[in-house]
Amino acid sequence: MPKSTELTADRVAAAYDALMSLDRDRALEYWTEDVRFQMPGNHHQAGWHEGLDAYLASTAKLIEACGGVMKSETLDVLVDAGKGITLDVYRISGKRGHAPEGVSSPYDFLAIEGAHLLRWRDGRVYEGRGGLFGDGATRANLWWSPVGDDGRRTGI
């Protein structure tokens, strides 16, 4: 019988679920307390978030910026259990909470795909990095920016 912390695609999915729940105790089953995670781009949530609390706060900010609604999918997960490394392909979409349904401007609507690299120890992630395909980094910068398509400043 496998240990419950065996490194599998399911465990990767469970780790993201725990993170997105914003439940610190649940997250601690999959992420170490001093995990560092690098968000790509140069917007105000970009860079290395040091510690689970900082990473949870940034995740909460993302959900908040989407008006509480956000779609996150894990498309493929590759595991090297021996090295303690996983790489997963993800897709995130969401519109800024203040924007109307169906908006397509990259200042208001985020649609990005990329790959996460996670490093695991004893069943928990201690380091992660998010990468972006295509022009996702510029799109993330515009989406996170305080300016809308018309140049007005918006919340968050």
Burial label, 130 (beta-carbon count in 10 A; 0-12, 13-18, 19+): buried
Q: Which region, judged by CB under 8 A, interacts with its own copies, from 10-18, 19-27, 65-73, 133-141?
A: 133-141
Using the rule CB under 8 A, is 146 a contact of its own copies?
yes
Q: Which region, judged by CB under 8 A, interacts with its own copies, from 23-31, 61-69, 78-86, 92-100?
A: 78-86
Residue pair 61/53 in contact by the 8 Å Cβ criterion: no
Nearest approach in angstroms of CB 25 to its own copies is 25
Q: List the interface residues with its own copies, window 2-41 (CB under 8 A).
A: 38, 40-41
Using the rule CB under 8 A, is 59 a contact of its own copies?
no
Helix residue ranges per DSSP H, 6-77? 9-20, 24-28, 52-65
Question: Cβ closer to its own copies: 20 or 111?
Answer: 111
- Rounded Cα distance between 139 and 132, Å, is 10
Q: List the interface residues with its own copies, window 80-109 (CB under 8 A).
A: 80, 83, 85-87, 89, 104-106
Q: For residue 80, give the 3-state DSSP assignment.
A: strand
Question: Cβ closer to its own copies: 26 or 43?
Answer: 43
The greatest distance separating any two alpha carbons of the chain, rounded to the nearest whole angstrom, comes to 58
